[in-house]
Structure 1
Amino acid sequence: MPRTPKLLTQVAAVHFVSHVHIMLIPALLPVLPGLMGVGFVELGVALAVFNIVSALVQAPLGYAVDHYGARKVLKAGLLLGSLSFVLVAVSPGYGVLLVALALAGLANGVYHPADYALLAKGIEQSRLGRAFSIHTFAGFLGAAVTPAVFLGITALFGLQAALATGAALGVAAWLLISVPGSGVYQVAGPGNKTAAACADAAGRVRLFTSMIGVLTVLFILLNLSTSAIEKFSVAALVQGQGLTLAWANTALTAFLLCSAAGVLCGGTLADRTRRHGLVAALAFALAAALTALVALGLLRDWPLVVVLGAIGLLTGVIAPSRDMLVKAAAPPGAEGKTFGLVSTGFNIGGAIGPVGFGWMLDQRLANGVFAASMVFMLLTVLLTVAQELARRCSPQEMQRL
C-alpha cells in the first residue's frame, strides 16, 4: 500500500490542472470575441464541442484505464490537454479553437476514471471518503483561481502567454506523476480484466434503471445551473449590468472559491445525514433565491461579490450529497459504471448550455443568463424532492442507504 499523502498529493494536483484546463477558455470569454472576430454563440459552440467529445469518450477511457493502467492513460491525457492549448497559442483562430477543444475534451475524459481508480486502489478504505473530498476540492480550487490568474496573464502578456501557461501546467503535472517509485507508480498497473468482466456481467442487467435516468437528468440540470455562472457570468455582468471587468471577475472568483470551500463543508454534512436529497434541495432553493437578486441587477460591487460567494458555497455543499445519491442508486459491483454513466449528464449540460447562454449574450439579454440559472436551480429542487419522496416510499431503497 503506497503512502497516502504522496499518492493523494499527486492525484489532487492532476485534478487541479484538469479543472484549470476546463475553465481556461471560459475564463477568457470576455476577450476572445474581439481577438478571434467571432460572437459568443460561436464560442458557445466551441465549448459544446469540448463537452460532447468528453461525454462520448468517458466510458471507453474507463475501460482503457482498466486494461492499460491508470498512470499511462493519465499521462497521455495531460500531454494531449497541454497540446490543445499550445495549438491555440500558436494559431489563435476559430477553426483551430474547435480542433483544440475537441482534443481537450478527449483529454478531459481521462481524469475521473483514472483519478478514482488510483485513489480506490491506493488508499485505505477508512480514509477513502476524505481522499475523495480533497480530490474534489482540488478540482474546484483549480477552477476558482483560473479566471483571475489567466485574465491577469492575458492583460499583462497577451492571450498566447495565458494559453502557454495553461499548457505548461499540464506538463508540470505530467512530470509530477512521472517520478519513478512515486505513489502513482505503485498503484497504476493494469487492472484485473477478469474481475472487471465479472463486475460488468453482474451489473449489466440492473444498471439502466429509472433512478439512474433521473440522476442523469439531475446532473444535466446541475451543470446548466452552475455553468451559466462559472462560464458566462463575467461577460453577463459586464454587458448587462455595466460592471467593470475587475469587479465581475472578483465576483466570479468569490463564487468559485466558495464552491471549493462548500465541498469540504458538504462532506461533513453528508456523513451526518441520510437525507441527501433534502440537503441538496434546500441548498439549491436558497441558491436560486440569491441568483434571482443577481438577475434583477439589484447588487453591485462588494454586495454582489458576497452574494455570488454565498451561491457558490451553497452549490458546493451539495456535491458530496449528490455523490451519495448516486452511490445509493448504484447496483452492487457496478458503482464505477454508474458514476461514469450519470456523470455524462454534466457533459450533456455542458454541450447544451454554452450555445444558449452565448445566444443570450449576442442578443444583449445578459441578465437572462442568471435568470436561466435560477430556473435550472428550481427545476433541480423539484426533481430532487420528487426523487427523495419516491425513495422514501420504497423500503428497498431506504435499506440501501
Structure 2
Amino acid sequence: MRLYLKRKEEDKIRKIKAWTLIYGRRKTGKTTLAKKYIKADWYFLVTVSLRAVTQDDKVIKLEDALNEAKRIIRSGGTAIIDEFQRLPDDFYTIISNWEREGILVAVGSSYSVLEKVFDRNSPLLGMFTPMEIDIISYEDVLYQLGDPLLSVIFRDPWIIPFIDKYEELLEKVKEFSLIAKGLIGEVFKEEERQLTNIYYKILLLLGEGIWKTSEIAGIIQPKGREPTISSMVNKLAKMGLVQKIPTLSRENFYKIRSPPLSLILYAESKYSVSETELKVETLPIGREVQFSIGEMLAKYFNGELYYSPKEDIDIVIMKKRVPIWGFEVKMGEITRSEALNAVKRISKVAKNVGLISLREKPPEGYADLSLGPDELKEIAGKLFNNS
C-alpha cells in the first residue's frame, strides 16, 4: 500500500470557498489533494490533445466538459478543472463570463499559469485566489515518518512509491536518472518552454553543488556569458525547479528545489549514471538535510533562512536583517572539540548558536541549543499541529 503523508495544505483546500487557482510544479500532489479534499460535483482533466477526461475516466469533448462545469457552477455547485494551463486562451474569456454562484477550482501544473490568470490583461484577473502546492514541507514528513534522513527524500511525492529507505535511492539511481530527466521535460512542456541542452547542463551543475552563476557560465560558456546564465537560473526558479537562498554575502545560493531530484542530478553530473553501470556509493545527502532542516527552523523561529558559505555556517536564521540563530549540522555525532569550534565560529556572526546531529543529541553546555533526532521530531510536531 502506498504511503500517504498528511500535509498542512489539506485544511486550506478543505476550506476553499471561492474561485481558486491551485498551482505548482508537476508531481507535487496537487491533483491528489484536490480530489481528496474538495467535494466536487464535476471534475475533468484537460489533455494535451484538448480533450477532457472525467472523474470516471471517460474521454469527452472539451466543450462538453466546460459546459457541464458552467452548469454546475451556475447552480451553486463546485467544479474542478485539472491541467488548467492547457486550456487555449480563448477559453479564459468564456470562463470569465460564467455566473459565479458556485466554486471553480483550477489546478495548474506550471508557474506560467499564474501569468495567464493574474496578468493585468487577463480576462480572469480578479476572479481567482492563488494557492501554491510546493514539495511537502520537511516538518510534515518528519513528524509522521520519524526518520530525519528518509524524510528529506520523501519531501517530493513522486519518489515515495519507489523506495522504502535512503539506500534504495543509491541502488536505483540509474533508473531514477531517466525518470528525473523525463520529469524535468514534463515541467518544461507544461511551462511551454523547450528543455535545451544549456538548461539541462545548468540543472546538472546545480545538482553537483556548483551554485555561483559565474562559475556555471565559465563551464558552459554560453553566448552572453554570466547574464545569460543568471537569466536562465531565475527562469528555472520561477518554474519551481530551482531554489534561491540568500547568503550573508548578499549573493544568492542556488540549488535544486527537490532533494531527491538534486541527488539524482548530482549522480548524473558526476558519474553519468544513465550511461554506465557504475555503482554509486555516496551522495551529498548532508547538503539536502542541511537545507530541509533550515527551512523547518526558519518557520519555528519565525525568521528567514539564509546560508553563509563564506563563514561556513550551515544554517542562518535572519529576523529583521539580524542573524538571530546560526546552526552547525552534522550527519554523525558532534564531538566536544567540534562543538567548541562550531560555537566559536558561529558566535562571531549570530546571536545564538545551535548544534544539530542526525545521529544523537549533541553534547550540551556548549551551544544555546542542541538538537538530535528526537528534538527535531518534536519541533516538527509543534509546527505540524499548530499550522
* TM-score normalised by the chain length of structure 1: 0.27
Q: Which has the higher strand share?
A: 2
Decide which structure has greater helix share: 1
Bigger relative contact order, structure 1 or 2 (CA pairs below 8 A, ≥6 apart)? 1
Higher Rg: 2
